[in-house]
Structure 1
Amino acid sequence: MEQIKNWLIENPTLFSIIKYVLLVSVVLIIIQIIRRLLRKHVLDTTARYKSQKGIEIIGYAVLIILSFSYFTGSIKDFTLAIGLFSAGIAFTLQELILSIAGSLYIFIVKVYKPGDRIEINGIKGDVIDVDSIYTTMMEIGQWVSSDNYSGRIVKLSNAFVFKGPIYNYSQDFPFIWDEFNLPIRYGSDVELAKSIVIKIASEILSEYTINSKSQWKDVVNKYYIEDALVDPTLAITLTDNWIQFNLRYIVDYKKRRAIKHIINNEIHKEVLKSNGKVNLASTTLELIKIPEVKIDIKQNNN
């Protein structure tokens, strides 16, 4: 060992080259270790490919910086080079790191879980899977009306939990308020119309009303929120064309469209049975006066 040490001292150029080769080898080994870890733990093909490419780019950039600084003597501290390398990795893989942090946040805080209906980053759907990188959703809405599935499966980065609001339709309280307007013609029996609407809504929605009351109490106890009325309510507004009935009620978040159809259909049946006492309105035009039209016909005797 003493002879090797003396030989290296006598040959400083060779010693410098050996140090440089060892330094490059360490960087290359670190790059390969990180690539293997990514290949093993990142299951998504796209994310794995991009992260491995990012590591390669960062590695080559670090090698260039180290080579330049080594031979010019600008950076002599190896720990500084390692710091630059780590910063480069963090910058290149910031989206991946944020996604992994997002998955931990979703799991610990219980932001949502598979089976929940959420809206995040402008995308609405049912969560069907949550992994370390992505949240997978079955999309609803878009080109289809109401809350029906569009048929598209959406993969969304978990990083979005830190970038905007998350609307959860089912967490803690799996019910939502819905409403629709019903136009009643002037001259109809308003009291009879009110009783028809409230009676049908109460019968159809009784199960949801009973179940929602107990769960709403839990929500009130858990959060700083005032109590709310979950029974069906009816508000009346007089318009230029008709009496507008606004029915507001609570319903299961997955059955909004179906329940609205049933309520409308039953109300229509009862209105027809009222023998003209209650009539649904539509946009109409009333002619107050028809202007006189004078026609002057001149006959030509020639």
Structure 2
Amino acid sequence: MELFENLKDWFTNESLTSSILKYLAWVVLIFILIAWTRRWMKKNLHDNSVKYKAQKAIQVIGYLFIVLITISYFTGSIRDFGLAMGLLTAGITITLQELILSIAGSFYIFFVRVYKPGDRIELNGIKGDVIDIDSMYTTMMEIGEWVSSDNYSGRIVKLSNSFVFKGPVYNYSSDFPFVWDEFNLPIRYGSDLELAKKIVITVAQEMLSGYVQSSIAGWKDVVNKYYIEDAQVNPTLAITMTDNWVQFNLRYIVDYKKRRITKHLLNEEIGKRIQKTNDKVILASATYEIVNIPTVHIDETRNTDKSE
């Protein structure tokens, strides 16, 4: 076979040392050019998105050149590239399966636009904001875990790009950067329910109008792009009668990065307005109230007769 003959000639050639040095010189030169080009882009490109993509593209192109040079030196000709790659792939597929999947995953992420730096995603059960994507790993600033709601935990997590092929990828910001959120408000029986409904809906409309207006156009685009039914983006209120109280469930749309602060502001403002109703509306709590305690009568005369 021509490939094996080329390999034999390559190893038995008297100028083997010279060939190795030339090969290493080319590899080092390419790495230097990659580093210099990335540094130049970092200084001269001001758009962060363009700068990030350009740096990654230069890195990938440099690696491809190294692969081509390596194949050329081992086979003696670029025309044997396909055969050489087939033999190499057959030998290392099992041992380097995760590496191959990670590299394939990086191309899949970039070309299909599964997610990009700045997106909030959940991958392999880990939720966070994407801060970097390279040829092997996706780097995220983790949110959640031991901290409540969508706050940063402070940990930077690196996940293999191969996970995009192994399970679902939840993207909070792609196409539609809003999410629906909700919370329950227990209202005591006997309260003015109409007044309570008015307070909750009024506060929600006042505080969420900006999110509603911003989300309308985005949701229309989602409906047009995907096979999905239209949805209500205005705040909605559902009432449920329970054994202990009347439960108000407020559902609303909000920016995916502002869930916690929005819920805090809504609760705070609704609580203030309920306090101003002079007990017409009272919040319920899981406490026990004892009413109509029976009167206990003690016959002291009868007890006295027995003692005598």
Offset at residue 91 of structure 1 (A): 1.7
The one-letter code of the counterpart of 1:94 is Q
CA contact (8 A) 1:241 1:284 kept: no
1:82-121 superposed matches below 5 A: 86-121=89-124
CA distance in 2, matches of 1:168, 1:291: 64
Summarize the Cα distance change of 1:258–1:170 in structure 2 as closer, same or farther, 3 Å threshold: same
Describe the shift of the 1:293–1:164 C-alpha distance in structure 2 as closer, same or farther (beyond 3 A).
farther
Unaligned 5+ segments in structure 1 are 1-18, 42-79
* Cα separation, partners in 2 of 1:294 and 1:112, compared to 1, 3 Å: farther
SS in 2 for 1:274: coil
- Tell me, which stretches of 5 or more residues in structure 2 are unaligned? 35-82
Matching residue of 2:267 = 264
Residues 214 and 295 of structure 1: CA distance in aligned 2, closer, same or farther (over 3 Å): farther
The structure that has the greater radius of gyration is: 1
- Give the letter aligned to residue 110 of structure 2: F
Seq. identity, %:
68
Task: Indicate yes or no: 2:142 matched with 1:146.
Answer: no
Q: CA deviation at 1:92?
A: 1.6
**How far apart are 1:202 and its partner, in Å?**
0.4
Give distance in 1, aligned partners of 2:142 and 2:250. 28
- The letter for the 2-side match of 1:242 is W
Q: Displacement, 1:96? A: 1.1
CA shift, 1:88, in A, is: 2.2
Give the structure 2 partner of residue 199 of structure 1. Answer: 202
Instruction: Supply the distance in 1 between the matched residues of 2:86 and 2:282 (Cα, whole angstroms).
Output: 78
Are 1:249 and 2:249 counterparts? no
Residue 193 to residue 83, structure 1, CA distance change in 2 (3 Å): closer
> Deviation per CA, 1:111-155, whole angstroms, max 9, x where unpaired?
000010000000000001111111110000000000000000011
Give the CA deviation at 1:86: 3.9
Partner of 2:229: 226
C-alpha separation in 1, matches of 2:163 and 2:266? 38
Query: Helix, strand or coil for the counterpart of 1:230?
Result: coil
- Who is 1:54 aligned against? none
SS in structure 2 of the partner of residue 147 of structure 1: coil
Flag the 1:162–1:291 CA change in 2: closer, same or farther, 3 A: farther
SS state at 2:92 partner: helix
Taking structure 2 as the reference length, the TM-score comes to 0.69
Two-structure CA RMSD over aligned residues (Å): 3.5
Which of these residues, 97, 113, 134, is aligned with residue 131 of structure 1? Answer: 134
Match of 1:77 in 2: none
2 CA distance for matches of 1:81 and 1:215?
Answer: 49
Residue 207 of structure 1 aligns with an amino acid whose one-letter code is G
Q: Indicate conservation of the 8 Å contact 1:180/1:247, yes or no.
A: yes
- AA aligned to 1:22 is K
